[in-house]
């Protein structure tokens, strides 16, 4: 975090400053800010956030022992550390992030990009951070820090020298993106797609679209909206941008896209496409598997272009990215048995994209095996969406379909009903059973996809398989 006196921090948070030892209101702090006491380093700031299973106030003494010099708390704690007592720790975290980013922005050249979408946020964030990091100091979320805690923690990592802040915004419900993006008012707002991920929590896909459009509404009025032309719900958001006086840049495969991809091809060693901007064509060869990642690359190229990065530079930097993120189309195993661990999360759209990639990368003599778990947060559409994925897997001629867990049983039944029987599709109760089955079932030449929502936990099964067949 930027250097701030304790007294000023207390004023920003509208809290009560309770000094410890020789600290005064003029004592300056500038350490990392985190809600995890295990992440404390000398000079750090600990935010004691109450949680669902534990309470951060229990860990204030541990944070102090680790070198933290300030704790933001909702009640005083007996510990040798200066504390600021606030009404709500999460709100205080947001208030601090807003002020820190505003000060850095006012003092320097900081440009801010916000990214949202039902799928692809983390990959696009990583792609864009890779492009921008060669231009200047760039701050981007670790993992998927995109909620009411993770997003402000990322914002608080900016320094006076930071040139770019890339923020990823997830939606817990209507209004959540507006609140988070409103903390920083992005210069560039990127909306990737509107899909069925989390649609159950929003009340349908149209409500999901409204939630994602909040990023465009929260951007600076002189900013730019980077929108997916191939998704009608996203492209319709250009009206919001135009009404606010913003510029609009479209990306996709549609002829109207300013940043466009053509001739997308997927192979076992990566994904290729032709990128077309202003009539000029540049080849792109991603090491990352999957045609859907070309759209994420387009979004990153378009956002970087708004910020002044030439398309050729963006492409050359993207070609150095080996994996999008851990557990996202992550190649594991060996040439003998290739495991693709894509089980960090799953929605109907991403599940379908991963299955198509599996079908595309298999060559003669190679068998396709899909290890599939449940997709979460789909509400009343869950049953029919699991049915649809089971049907798709069979129609793509996936040769072995291994369904794991009771929540995914309908996927198995749909596959059997479509013709995947006589051992081609199996249903197993848990990860251990699946691992034992696959340990004996897999053979040389198999190409294996492991895919599920985070809650199903198949990413750990993917890791076990990757190690077993390495």
Q: Which residues are part of a known binding site for ATP?
A: 117-123
Q: Give the C-alpha separation, 236 to 112, whole Å.
A: 23
Q: Check: CB of residue 284 under 8 Å from CB of residue 141.
A: no
- How many degrees, rounded to 5, is the angle at CA 77 between CA 72 and CA 82? 50
Cα atoms found within 13 Å of the Cα of residue 325, Cβ hemisphere only = 23
Q: Check: CB of residue 49 under 8 Å from CB of residue 86.
A: no
Q: Check: CB of residue 47 under 8 Å from CB of residue 113.
A: no
For residue 100, the Cα-to-chain-centroid distance in whole angstroms is 23
Q: Give the gyration radius of the chain's Cα atoms.
A: 24
Q: Give the C-alpha separation, 443 to 446, whole Å.
A: 6
Q: Give the C-alpha separation, 179 to 173, whole Å.
A: 11
Q: Give the C-alpha separation, 243 to 237, whole Å.
A: 10
Q: Give the C-alpha separation, 257 to 295, whole Å.
A: 12
Known binding-site residues equal 117-123
Query: Which has the closest alpha carbon to 84: 26, 6, 5?
Result: 6
Q: Give the C-alpha separation, 104 to 108, whole Å.
A: 6
Q: What is the DSSP annotation of 187-243?
A: SEEEE----STTHHHHTSHHHHHHHHHHHHHHS-TTSEEEEETTSHHHHTTHHHHHH
- Residue pointed to by tokens 């719900």: 233
- How are strands ordered across the β-sheet holding 425-428? 330-333, 337-341, 446-451, 367-372, 400-404, 425-428
Partner residues linked to 450 by β-bridges: 341, 371
Which residue spans within 291-354 are E strands per DSSP? 330-333, 337-341
Q: Which tokens belong to 67?
A: 């070198």
């Amino acid at each position: 975090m930027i250097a701030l006196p304790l007294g000023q921090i207390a004023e920003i948070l509208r809290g009560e400053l309770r000094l410890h030892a020789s600290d005064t209101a003029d004592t300056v702090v500038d350490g990392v800010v985190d809600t995890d006491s295990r992440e404390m380093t000398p000079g750090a700031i600990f935010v004691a956030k109450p949680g669902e299973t534990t309470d951060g106030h229990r860990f204030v003494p541990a944070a102090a022992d680790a070198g933290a010099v300030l704790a933001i708390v909702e009640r005083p704690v007996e510990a040798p550390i200066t504390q600021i007592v606030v009404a709500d720790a999460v709100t205080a975290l947001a208030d601090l992030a807003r002020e820190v980013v505003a000060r850095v922005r006012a003092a320097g050249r900081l440009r801010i990009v916000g990214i949202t979408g039902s799928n692809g946020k983390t990959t696009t964030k990583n792609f864009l951070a890779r492009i921008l990091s060669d231009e200047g100091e760039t701050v981007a979320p670790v993992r998927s820090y995109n909620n009411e805690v993770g997003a402000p923690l990322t914002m608080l990592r900016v320094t006076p020298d930071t040139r770019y802040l890339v923020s990823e915004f997830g939606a817990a419900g209507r209004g959540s993106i507006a609140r988070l993006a409103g903390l920083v008012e992005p210069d560039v707002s990127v909306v990737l797609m509107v899909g069925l991920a989390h649609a159950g929590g929003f009340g349908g896909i149209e409500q999901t679209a409204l939630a994602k459009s909040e990023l465009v509404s929260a951007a600076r009025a002189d900013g730019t909206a980077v929108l997916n032309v191939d998704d009608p719900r996203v492209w319709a958001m250009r009206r919001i941008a135009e009404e606010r006086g913003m510029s609009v840049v479209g990306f996709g495969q549609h002829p109207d896209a300013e940043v466009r991809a053509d001739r997308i091809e997927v192979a076992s060693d990566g994904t290729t496409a032709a990128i077309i901007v202003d009539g000029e064509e540049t080849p792109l060869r991603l090491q990352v598997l999957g045609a859907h990642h070309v759209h994420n690359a387009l979004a990153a190229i378009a956002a970087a272009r708004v910020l002044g990065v030439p398309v050729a530079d963006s492409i050359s930097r993207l070609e150095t990215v080996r994996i999008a993120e851990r557990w996202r189309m992550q190649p594991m195993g060996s040439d003998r048995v290739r495991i693709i661990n894509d089980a960090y999360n799953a929605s109907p759209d991403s599940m379908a994209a991963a299955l198509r990639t599996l079908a595309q990368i298999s060559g003669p003599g190679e068998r396709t095996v899909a290890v599939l778990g449940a997709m979460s947060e789909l509400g009343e559409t869950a049953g029919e969406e699991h049915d649809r994925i089971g049907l798709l897997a069979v129609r793509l001629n996936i040769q072995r379909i291994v369904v794991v867990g009771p929540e995914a049983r309908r996927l198995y039944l749909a596959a059997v009903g479509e013709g995947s029987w006589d051992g081609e599709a199996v249903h197993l109760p848990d990860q251990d059973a699946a691992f034992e089955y696959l340990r004996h079932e897999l053979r040389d030449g198999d190409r294996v996809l492991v895919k599920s929502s985070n809650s199903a936990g198949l990413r750990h099964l993917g890791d076990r398989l990757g190690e077993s067949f390495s």
